[in-house]
Each structure stands twice: as structure tokens, then as C-alpha cells.
Amino acid sequence: MELTWAQVRARRLERHGLAAPVTGGVDAIPHVVRAMCGAHAQVMVAGELSVALRIAGAGRADVQAALWERHTLVKTFGPRGTVHLLPTADLPLWTGALSEVPASTPFDEDVRMTPEQNEAVIEGIGTVLADAELAVDELTEALGDTVGPWAADRVMPAFQDLWPRWRQATALAAHRGVLCFGPTRGRKVTYTSPRRWLPGLVPADGAAAVEELLRRYLHAYGPARPRDLAQWLAAPRGWAGTLFDRLAGELERVDVDGIEGWVVAGDLDAPLGQPRGLRLLPYFDAYAVGSHPRERVFPGRAAERALAGTQAGNFPVLLLDGVVAGVWHQRRAGRRLAVTVEPLAELSPAHRGELAAQVDRVAEILGGTPALTVGPVSVGPHA
């Protein structure tokens, strides 16, 4: 079977809510996040903007309400062990699937925990967070009392500091369904239990869950290859290839202008006409991070200007007809939201009009007064 690159862009834009905003208001938020396969939220305001941009009339406050009031979203560790917003109702699937992904052990033997210590920490986290929201220092003290002083030993190198030993298990604890983020307390991050919002949470069977996650990934980002999935999950390529092989009977090979990828069998629908539209995507937007092949999503100069090596998401990007065509940055001073956009080619008058409308929409979501400058962006990549 064949699809053109234009058809692939058109279907991805439609499925991500980037061809036209999704209707439904706040009730649409978890459905949009599900369609994206999670919204990256390491930079929280970027995650909020990423979701709200896809929903007609939604604002940053609506995404926050979905998290902390309605609890239809949860902030936790998702793909690649990075912070994501996920639909709360999907936590059994995500925890089951991510627990199946092979994890690396980057720490020296005298730092990393044994399998028995990992299990003790995870059990301890489940106990102390069952009805609490604890900052890191409070959770460290509680685990030192509950599990043993070794869990609180500051031996883990991180950001020019030493973290307590237990913190190497935070993503694993999230994938076991006993830890997620709670509301920020001042400037302090807090952790809590997702079972407070989804009582009876039990991770789904790992093998079945990771197969379903592959189906969802292919729906959002297909046609895709095993190496694309491996990069998205930070998993070994061989493991990803084996997963594709397991589902071979359900998948269909597709040629996209000379590059082969896979979709779920029969999922070849593509909108009529060419992909159209200009969008400003924030740091680590799911579309930019998950879409491949990189050389087609970030063609020519876009790869030099908007990628950090092979890693996408470190720059907010100007998306034109589904392809990265520049970078942008926003800086706030009081109510004023200064947005600088650096296109990689001259914009047409029509695209200039779309850009102005997008800047207005970004300012509306963030609650600011927009001021647009078209010119060089001097800010470097986000870590």
C-alpha cells in the first residue's frame, strides 16, 4: 500500500487536533491528550499550551482544572521516563505498558539499588503517599523511616547535586501505579498516589498493554518504523522490532514516497486535499517529538535550527502545513507577552495573517497581551 508524504502529514495533523481545533470544551481535554499519546509536561506551561491549542476556546486554566479539580488528567512519568500529562482513565494501560519497556541502569553499582531495594522503595512509596501529598524532602524522610536509612542516602548524581538514593525509582514507582505528581506547593514539587483519583488502580497486563500502546502510537504517528517507536519510548531497537513482529498479523506495511513504515491494518484513511495551516507548537510538543522520519518533519535547515542533535522538542517550532518551518520564543513581562518568530523562509501575506492569529491564540491561552516580532530568536535549546 502507498501513501504520499502530504497524506501522512494531513492525517497526523487531523488526528492531533492541529488541522482544526477540537470542539467540546473541557470535556474534550482527556480525549485530546489520549489522541496525542500523552502531552509532554516537563515544562508545565508548555504542556498546558500544547493541550489548549488543540481545543477550541480552551485556556491554560482549563487544563489546570482537568488536573487538579476534575482529575481527568494526571501528571506523571510517561514515555522516556519524562513528565507527561495522561488521561487518568488510561493509567491502567500506561502503567502496564511502560512497566514492560526495558529500563537502563545509568548509575554505578555503589549507587544503584538492587531489585530487592527497588521493590522495598516502591512498597514504601505506596504506603506513605496513599493519602498524602509530600515534597521531595518530606518523602525522603518518610522513606528513611519506613524503608531504611539507606533509601535516604544522598548518593545519586543529578544536576550538580546529590539526590537521595530512592529517587532513581521515581519513574518505576509511577509505572507501578503508586506515584504521580501532586499540586505544586509554592516552588516545591509534590508527589502523591494516583489511586486517590482512580481508586483500585491496577496496572494492566504488560504484554497486552504494550501491544495496545503500539496500536495507539501507530494511529497517532503512523506510518512508523520500529526505530521510531524505540526513540519515542527510549527503548532498545531490538525490543521494538520484536514488538512489531508480535503484532505482524495486525499491521500493514506502507510505502511513503520511498520510505517504508507500518500502520494498523486497514488504517489508511487520509483527509482529501493538501495539508494546510500554520501553528506555533511549544517546547516538547507531541507532534514534533513523535513524528518521523525526522528528515521530512525537519527538512533542510529546520534540522539544523530546530533539533538538538537528533532530539526534537528542545525548541518551540513554527509548523507550516505539517512541516517544521522555523522556531519561536515567548517572553512575559506583566501582561505583555512578547512573541518572536524566526521563519526559515519568507512568509506569504496569507501566512503572515495566520501567524498573527496564532500569536493571538497563544496569548489568549496564557492570559496575556500579545506583541509579535518576526526576526531572529537568540534563545538556545531547552535542556
Kindly list the distances between the CA atom of residue 171 and the CA atoms of 79, 81, 167, 272, 273, in Å, as whole numbers in the listed order: 10, 6, 9, 41, 42
Would the pLDDT of 188 be above 80? yes
Query: In one letter, which amino acid is 196?
Result: R
Is 0.75 topped by the overall pTM? yes
Would the pLDDT of 108 be above 90? no
Would the pLDDT of 116 be above 90? yes
- With a CB cutoff of 8 Å and minimum separation 6, the contacts of 226 are 237, 240, 241, 243, 244
Confidence of residue 237 (pLDDT cuts 50, 70, 90): very high
Q: 13-17, 47-51, 157-161, 351-355: lowest mean pLDDT where? A: 157-161
Would the pLDDT of 197 be above 80? yes
- What pLDDT digit, counting tens, does each position of 52-103 carry? 999 999 999 999 999 999 999 999 999 999 999 999 999 999 999 999 999 8
CA 196 to chain centre: 23
- What pLDDT digit, counting tens, does each position of 125-164 carry? 999 999 999 999 999 999 999 999 999 999 888 777 889 9
Task: Calculate what percentage of the chain has a pLDDT beyond 70.
Answer: 100
Which has the closest alpha carbon to 130: 70, 185, 200?
A: 200
Would the pLDDT of 351 be above 90? yes
